Chain A
Amino acid sequence: MSGPGTAGNGSLIDRRYVIGLLLRLCVNFAGGVGLLFVILYFALSRPLPGDYAGVYLALRNLSPFLRPILAISVLVYALLACGSTSALCVYILHKVAGPLYRMELVLDQYRSGGATRTVSFRNGDQLQALAPAFNQWIGTLRRDRHRWLATMADAERHCLQDEATCRAEMEAALRRVAEDMERYR
């Protein structure tokens, strides 16, 4: 079996998709940090009095409130950044999760004995190499199945002749089919 390196992994996830994800994350994080800056700006921008005592008192009085102000600001930042990043992750990663889910459905369908249709993914979906690889496998199975059935059908044609010839041809066909099936390992 060839290793993953030979599977054309470069095409599994498009470089533009990765760059797009990184850019969106960058904008998202920048937005979060910008929001934190705005919150702290409004929290700390009250004008200071002009005299020494006033400045001293204002800054000393600010100290007890500083920790809660920072805590709430960071909490708001964390909630908003986490929320938007989560939404972004779900939105962007569905281009990977979608094909995986689709393939799982097809594999379940195949195992349950249902009709297996050709797999194709949506435009922009990642992991595109999965679909042709699966279709290639199913294609090989179908070609082999047709060949085995054709071999058996050929043998059945001899049944128009005498019984012994028919049986001999059928047994020969079965040997060819069994030999062909031996290639599966």
Chain B
Amino acid sequence: MRQPGLKPPPSRIRYVSPRFQGPAVLAFTTIIVAGGAIFWKLVDAEFQRVFLHAAIRGHYTFGSAFDIVRDLLVSHLAGLFIGVLLAGSALVLFLVAATRHGIGKAVASLRASADRDLSTPTGACPIGEFERFGEKIDAARSDTLVSVRKLRSEAASLAAGGISPEEFRLRWDELKQRIRGIAP
């Protein structure tokens, strides 16, 4: 199971994963920026129209320009808040559903591995990080299956006989050593 190509991982633990948190941050940022752009477009057009109308009509009862557009501004801000919140909530629920689906498959795959099924693919959802995680689990399972199959083949070959006692003893000890390497 030992693969010389793989370096032992660093012991440092970090809890920021750009591959996982990065897309989520980008998606929230897109929602906020889109909401702001729509708000700007709508409010700009409305304010221009309202101020022109107010200038012609002469609004003596209003103390400031803010008083003229207060209701309009409040309704648009409420719209911005509700829009961004709804889109953000939908994104959160999508992320939760994707995580439950992707990691659920990974958990099911690990449980199947405990039943010695190491060949059925994890099939995690095709969202970057979860797919990669599923592939890592599959790679670990595949390595284990290859190791066990090699050991089984060696055991069967030794059991078939026709080997000199010296060679048999040598391969027997080697097989024991290799079995010890399973999940050390």
Q: Interface size on A (CB < 8 Å)?
A: 106
Interface band, chain B = 35 or more
A59:B111 contact, CB within 8 angstroms = no
Classify the secondary structure of A's interface with B.
helix
Distance of A89 Cα from B92 Cα, bound (Å): 10
| A83 smallest CB distance to B (angstroms) | 9
Judge if B127 is at the interface, Cβ distance under 8 Å.
no
Given the known A-B contacts A86-B25, A130-B106, A145-B182, are A181 and B158 also in contact in the complex, defined by CB atoms under 8 Å? no
* Total cross-chain contacts (CB, 8 A): 307
Hey, which bits of chain A sit against chain B, CB under 8 A?
A: 1-10, 12-13, 18, 21-22, 25-26, 29-30, 32-33, 36-37, 40-41, 44-48, 50, 52, 55-56, 58-60, 62-63, 66-67, 70-71, 74-75, 77-78, 81-82, 85-86, 89-90, 93-94, 96-98, 100-105, 107-116, 126-127, 129-130, 133-134, 136-142, 144-145, 148-149, 152, 163, 167, 170-172, 174-175, 177-178, 181-185
* A-B residue pairs in contact (CB < 8 Å), sample of 14: A2-B108, A36-B39, A37-B77, A52-B58, A59-B54, A63-B48, A74-B36, A86-B29, A100-B20, A133-B114, A145-B182, A152-B176, A163-B165, A174-B156
